[in-house]
Amino acid sequence: MAVPMKTTNGNRKLILDVDTGIDDALALAYLASFNNIEILGVIGTYGNVAADTAVYNTAYVLERLGFRNVPVLRGSTRPSWAASFIPDAGCAQFHGTDGLGGFGPAVGSPAVACVSDSGETDIWKSDSAPYVSDSAESDIQSTTNTVYASDSGESDIPGTLSTTYVSDSGESDTRVRRGLISVGGYDVHDPHANPAADSFSLSFTTCDGAAHSPALPEGVRFIVDMVRKYGSDVTVVATGPLTDVDAALTAAPEIASKLRLVMMGGTLTQEGNCWDTTAETNIIQDPEAADRVFHSEADTTMVGLDVTHQCLLGRAATAGWRGTELGDFLADMADFSIEANAKADARLFAKGMPLHDPLAAAVAIDPGLVGCFDLPMKVETQTGDFHGTRGRTIGDPAGLIDPSAPRVHVALTVDHDRFVADFAHRIAHMVAARA
pLDDT tens-digit readout, 246-290: 999 999 999 999 999 999 999 999 999 998 899 999 999 999 999
Average pLDDT, the chain: 83
CA-to-CA distance for 288 and 259, rounded, in angstroms? 19
Per-residue pLDDT of 13-22, as tens digits, reads 999 999 999 9
Per-residue confidence band for 184, with pLDDT thresholds at 50, 70 and 90:
very high
pLDDT of residue 178: 62
pLDDT computed for residue 139 by the predictor: 34
Hey, what CATH class is 12-433 in? alpha beta
pLDDT cut 90: percent of the chain above it:
71
The answer on pLDDT for 384 being more than 90 is: no
In the chain, domain spans:
12-433
Query: For the segment 293-347, what is each residue's pLDDT rounded down to a tens digit?
Result: 999 999 999 999 999 999 999 999 999 999 999 999 999 999 999 999 999 999 9
Q: Is 90 exceeded by the pLDDT of residue 73?
A: yes
Give me the mean pLDDT over the 183-202 stretch: 81
By annotation, the residues acting in catalysis are: 356
